[in-house]
Amino acid sequence: MQKFTLHTGLVAPMDRENVDTDAIIPKQFLKSIRKTGFGPHLFDAWRYLDTGEPGMDPNSRKPNPDFVLNQPRYAGASVLLARKNFGCGSSREHAPWALDQYGFRAIIAPSYADIFFNNSFKNGLLPIVLPEAQVAALFDEALAFPGYKLTVDLERQVIVKPQGEEISFSVEVFRKYCLINGLDDIGLTLRHSDKIKTFESERLAAKPWLNHTIAA
């Protein structure tokens, strides 16, 4: 998992409440058992005027010029500004995969659906919770100033605005540790690989029959 310590990125304001996971990555793209290739289909039904299906070439499709991520001023955005209850709906982990693979590193919103919130941390995406009034002020600034960027400093737990003003945010200690060190659930387990190998060797020595295979 990619580490998150300090990130400065262009802000894209998505002015919608209750954005559900089927909007983030529609159900037809969940057929893949691979963990890659979801970025081009992020917000697929909103980004394109035609209906998307797995295997389609994004370059051959009809983009919706009114959708925020298709507007030239937000090209390359890596900080997503959203409204309350972002990520509601089904529990698909593909939603943070798609956001990450598109290029987003952090999301700022007043609230999130619990499962999406948890899945984001497990996949290297930082969901920041701020009061609605602060989020509204960031929306106003992002819309008013083309090229609006924010710096997210996870170690200090602050968002730094272009003028230098800082906004503090909270993050649970263990989740912060995992993001800063780039540790997902597998990475956390592999920290103990030596102990795991020792345990397996000792168990096999005590129960050698475990090494036998059963003939078909």
How confident is the model over 128-135, as a mean pLDDT? 98
Query: What local confidence, expressed as pLDDT, does residue 207 receive?
Result: 80
pLDDT band for position 204 (cuts 50, 70, 90): confident
Query: What local confidence, expressed as pLDDT, does residue 61 receive?
Result: 93
pLDDT in tens, 152-198: 999 999 999 999 999 999 999 999 999 999 987 776 676 767 777 77
First to last CA, the chain: 39
User: pTM (2 decimals)?
Assistant: 0.88
Tokens (6 digits) for 194 = 């030596």
Question: Does the structure show a pLDDT above 80 at 216?
Answer: no
Query: What local confidence, expressed as pLDDT, does residue 4 receive?
Result: 95
Query: What local confidence, expressed as pLDDT, does residue 184 receive?
Result: 79
Class of domain 6-183: alpha beta
CA diameter of the chain: 70
Q: For residue 46, give the nearest of 14, 1, 2 by alpha carbon.
A: 14
Q: For residue 14, give the nearest of 108, 145, 91, 96 by alpha carbon.
A: 108
Tokens (6 digits) for 180 = 């800063």
The CA dihedral of 28, 32, 35, 41, to the nearest 10 degrees, is -30
Per DSSP (E only), the strands in 34-87 are: 79-81
DSSP for 148-183, written as a single string: -EEEEETTTTEEE-TTS-EEE----HHHHHHHHHT-
- Percent of the chain residues past pLDDT 90, beyond the cut: 74
Query: What local confidence, expressed as pLDDT, does residue 211 receive?
Result: 77
Question: Does the structure show a pLDDT above 80 at 215?
Answer: no
Phi-psi region for residue 214, left (φ > 0), alpha (ψ -120 to 50) or beta? beta
**Beta partners for residue 8, in sequence order:** 151
Q: For residue 118, give the nearest of 179, 186, 167 by alpha carbon.
A: 179
* Residue where the block lists tokens 């020595």: 205
* Residue where the block lists tokens 């983009």: 63
Question: 37: how many CB neighbours lie within 10 A of its CB?
Answer: 14
pLDDT in tens, 2-53: 899 999 999 999 999 999 999 999 999 988 777 889 999 999 999 999 999 8
- Dist CA 11 CA 123 (whole Å): 20
pLDDT in tens, 62-115: 999 999 999 999 999 999 999 999 999 988 999 999 999 999 999 999 999 999
Query: What local confidence, expressed as pLDDT, does residue 78 receive?
Result: 98
